[in-house]
């Protein structure tokens, strides 16, 4: 079964054929109805509470060094433009991760692709082929190199995340060295060049916890714009009840939990779980069979 992942929902119409229209972004930025989404140079979004703090095109003041991207049109036909650049006065900027769980789904579906392409622009000022400066074209969907003329397109990095489940239907959770104390999550990692996503599941499970996967079941995908990943979710079944072998560097602990053991560990505050908008949380819930009770007082 494919999971209903929280960041996998389609947002506004991306209107891809409109991107090549000459002068489109300039016109939109003069428009009363245009919605301008603000992202700063570090990849934080302008938000007010848990809502996007957008500005109307006619009220938007372009700051020097800004890059603009046409994001598409909403159901009312309003154009959306992303402005990446210095912070605008009068707005608070936050990491999307800290607000997305409470952000309305419709706004989250705008914020996620906006941040993903903002993060590509933030790291694409120079050509990876020749090192010269690149220039924005096609309403922000292409960067062309001044030196060698190469057109560069927005990239996303595929990654896999899997619920490793043993022969007794227990779920493996791992503590990575960069996690806060007590936080546990799924085995995950980037797909390597030349590798299929299914092979990445097998390799990462072997590398991170020393287990051989017997069956790989696809469960869906969602973007994860931190900075620009696309997460592929899997269920990875292992035979018997193997012991986890962690490397002690990247992963410092990994163990299997029964549902009762996990609920007790979470209630006691011994195990902290990933955020509710993450693929990891959806995989956890799918295995658990519903929402996992929150920690006790
Ligand atoms: Zn070049």
Instruction: Map out the domains of the chain with their CATH numbers.
Output: 16-123 (3.90.79), 129-154 (no CATH), 157-288 (3.90.79.10)
Tokens of 140: 């922000």
Q: How far apart, in whole angstroms, are the C-alpha atoms of residue 242 and residue 244?
A: 6
**282: CA distance to ligand 1 center in Å?**
41
Residue 93's H or E segment, with its range, is strand 93-94
| Span from the CA of 126 to the centroid of ligand 1 (angstroms) | 8
Name residues whose C-beta falls within 8 Å of residue 171's C-beta, 6 or more positions apart in sequence.
163, 164, 165, 256, 257, 262, 284, 287, 288
Ligand 1 centre and the CA of 128: distance in Å?
7
Burial of 242 (0-12, 13-18, 19+ CB in 10 A): middle
Going from the Cα of 134 to the center of ligand 1, the distance in angstroms, rounded, reads: 7
Indicate the SS3 state at residue 142. Answer: strand
**How far apart are the CA of 68 and the centre of ligand 1, in A?**
21
pTM of this structure = 0.93
127 C-alpha to ligand 1 centroid (Å): 5
Tell how far the Cα of 135 is from the centroid of ligand 1, in angstroms. 11
Q: What is the pLDDT of residue 15?
A: 97
What is the full DSSP assignment across 214-249?
Answer: EEEEEEEEEEETTTTEEEEEEEEEESS-PPP---SS
Given the DSSP bridges, would you call strands 229-238 and 157-165 parallel, antiparallel or unpaired? parallel
Closest CA to 6 of 275, 222, 157: 222
Rounded to the nearest whole angstrom, what is the distance from the C-alpha of residue 154 to the centroid of ligand 1?
Answer: 15
Burial (0-12, 13-18, 19+ Cβ within 10 Å), 49: exposed
- CA 249 to centroid of chain Cα atoms: 24
Cα of 43 to ligand 1 centre, how many Å? Answer: 25
Give the distance (Å) from ligand 1 centre to CA of residue 144.
8
Dist. CA 16 → ligand 1 center (Å):
25
In the chain (297 residues long), the average pLDDT of successive 10-residue segments reads 92 95 96 97 96 97 96 97 97 96 94 97 96 97 98 97 98 95 95 97 96 97 96 97 90 96 94 93 96 78
Ligand 1 centroid to 116 CA: how many Å? 23
Distance between Cα 67 and ligand 1 center (Å): 19
Å from CA of 148 to ligand 1 middle:
4
**CA 284 to each of CA 49, 58, 97: distance values in angstroms, whole numbers, following the listed order:** 28, 45, 19
């Amino acid at each position: 079964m494919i999971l209903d992942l929280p960041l996998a929902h389609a947002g506004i119409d991306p209107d891809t054929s409109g991107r090549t229209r000459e002068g489109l972004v300039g016109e939109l930025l003069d428009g009363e109805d245009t919605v301008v989404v603000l992202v700063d140079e570090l990849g934080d979004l302008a938000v007010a509470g848990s809502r996007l703090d957008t500005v109307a095109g006619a009220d938007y003041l372009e700051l020097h060094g800004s890059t603009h991207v046409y994001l598409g049109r909403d159901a009312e036909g309003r154009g959306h433009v992303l402005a990446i650049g210095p912070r605008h006065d009068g707005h608070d900027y936050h990491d999307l991760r800290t607000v997305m769980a409470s952000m309305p789904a419709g706004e989250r579906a705008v914020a996620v692709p906006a941040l993903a392409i903002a993060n590509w622009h933030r790291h694409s000022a120079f050509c990876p082929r020749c090192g010269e400066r690149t220039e924005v074209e096609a309403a922000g969907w292409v960067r062309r190199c001044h030196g060698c003329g190469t057109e560069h397109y927005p990239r996303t990095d595929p990654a896999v995340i899997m619920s490793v489940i043993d022969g007794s239907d227990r779920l493996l959770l791992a503590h990575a060295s960069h996690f806060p104390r007590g936080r546990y999550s799924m085995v995950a990692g980037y797909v390597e060049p030349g590798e299929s996503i299914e092979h990445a599941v097998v390799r990462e499970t072997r590398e991170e916890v020393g287990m051989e996967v017997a069956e790989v079941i696809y469960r869906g995908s969602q973007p994860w714009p931190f900075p620009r990943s696309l997460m592929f979710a899997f269920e990875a079944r292992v035979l018997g009840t193997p012991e986890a072998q962690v490397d002690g560097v990247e992963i410092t602990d990994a163990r299997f939990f029964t549902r009762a053991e996990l609920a007790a560990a979470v209630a006691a505050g011994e195990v902290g779980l990933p955020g509710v908008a993450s693929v990891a949380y959806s995989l956890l819930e799918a295995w658990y069979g519903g929402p996992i009770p929150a920690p006790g007082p």
